[in-house]
Structure 1
Amino acid sequence: MENKWFYCALNLVLFVTTSSFIFAANAVKPTYCGSKDTFPVKVDNVVISPNPVVSGKPATFEISAISEDDISGGILSIEVFYYGMHVHSESHDLCSKTSCPVKQGSFVLTNSQSLPGFTPPGSYKLKMKMMDTDNKLLTCIDINFNIVHSSMISEI
C-alpha cells in the first residue's frame, strides 16, 4: 500500500514539475523602456505561445500586469523590430485586448496574430506602449522573441 502512495506522489511531482517547465519555457521577461517606477502599470509576466513563434501560424502574447489606478480605456500601441530594424506597427483599442474598465489591481492583456508564411526567421523585439484616454503613458515594455519556420520546429 505504501508503494501505491509513493508512486501517486511521484507522479504528482512529475506532473507539476513538467507543467511548470512548459509554462516557464513560454514565459519571457520583459524590459521597461524607462524606469519601472515611473509607470502606473507594472508588467508581471509575458507568456508567448508558441515560443518560439512560427511564421505562418497564430501567435499569442498574454501579458499579466498590475495597475495602480482604474483605467477606463485607452490605446495599445505595438511596434515590431527585426534585428533592430522597424518592420511593423499597429495600435488597438485597449478594451479590445482586455475587459474594461480595468480595475486597480491585476489584469491580463491578450494579443493574438497570425504571421505571414514569408516572415523571416530570426530575433525580434516587440515594443508595447499602453496609453490611457488622455494619452498618458501607462507602461512601455520591450519583449524579445524569436520566429522560426514551421520546417524548423522538429529541430527544436
Structure 2
Amino acid sequence: MATKQSLLALALLAAACILLLIPSASAVTDLDYCNKHKDYPVKVSGVEIVPDPVERGVPATFKISATTGETITTGKLVIDVKYFFFNVHSETDDICTKTACPATDKFELSHSQTLPSVTPPGTYTITMKMLGDKDEELSCISFKFSIGLFSPVALS
C-alpha cells in the first residue's frame, strides 16, 4: 500500500509533467538593434512570442511593440531566420498587412507562421527590418526564439 508521502510525491511529479507540456501563454523576448549606434525612426519596445517555445505544426505569433514620431503609410517588413549560422527562411511582406496603416505613435506589428513538423528543435535567430516607402531603414532588430524538442504533431 502506498504511503501518503509517496502519493504526494507522485502527484507533484504529475503536476510538474503537465506544466512542462503546457505552452506558456506569452513570453517577452530580449532584442538587439542591428546597429546599436543608429537612431532608428521606429523604436521597438518589445517582442512577444506565443507560444514560447514555438511548437512545430502549431501557429506561432510574433508581436512587435513599437513607437514612431513619423507616419508610416507604406513599406516592407523583411524577415530572415537563421538556425546557427545557416539562413533557413526569408520573406518580405507589405508592412501594412502586419499592422494598421497609417502607423503613428504606438503600434504593433504581428506576424504568424506555422513551422513544418520536420523543423529541428533548437534556438533560431530572427532579423526583422522595417523599410519605408523609399526602402529607407526605419528599424532593424534581431531576437532569438526556441523550438521545443517535443511537438504535438510528432506525438499524434
Question: What does residue 47 of structure 1 align with?
Answer: 48
Structure 2 CA distance for partners of 1:46 and 1:23, relative to 1, 3 Å? farther
Q: State the 1:68 CA deviation.
A: 2.0
Amino acid at match of 2:146: N
Amino acid at match of 1:138: L
Question: What does residue 81 of structure 1 align with?
Answer: 82
Gaps of 5+ in 1: 1-21
Question: What does residue 33 of structure 2 align with?
Answer: 32
Structure showing the higher helix proportion among its residues? 1
Question: What does residue 139 of structure 2 align with?
Answer: 139
Are 1:60 and 2:61 counterparts? Answer: yes
Gaps of 5+ in 2: 1-22
- C-alpha contact 2:46 2:64 (8 A) present in aligned 1: yes
Aligned residues: 130
- C-alpha contact 1:80 1:126 (8 A) present in aligned 2: yes
Q: State the 1:46 CA deviation.
A: 0.5
Larger Rg: 2
Question: What does residue 125 of structure 1 align with?
Answer: 125
Provide TM-score, normalisation by structure 2.
Answer: 0.78
Q: State the 1:102 CA deviation.
A: 0.9
Are 1:109 and 2:109 counterparts? Answer: yes
Q: Distance in 2 between matches of 1:23 and 1:55?
A: 15
Amino acid at match of 2:94: D
- C-alpha contact 1:74 1:135 (8 A) present in aligned 2: yes
The percent of aligned pairs where both chains have the same amino acid is: 43
Matched residue of 1:38: which SS? coil
Q: Distance in 1 between matches of 2:47 and 2:37?
A: 15
Provide TM-score, normalisation by structure 1.
Answer: 0.78
Q: State the 1:47 CA deviation.
A: 0.4
Amino acid at match of 2:53: P
Q: Distance in 1 between matches of 2:143 and 2:50?
A: 13
- C-alpha contact 1:55 1:149 (8 A) present in aligned 2: no
Q: State the 1:85 CA deviation.
A: 1.2
Q: State the 1:73 CA deviation.
A: 1.0
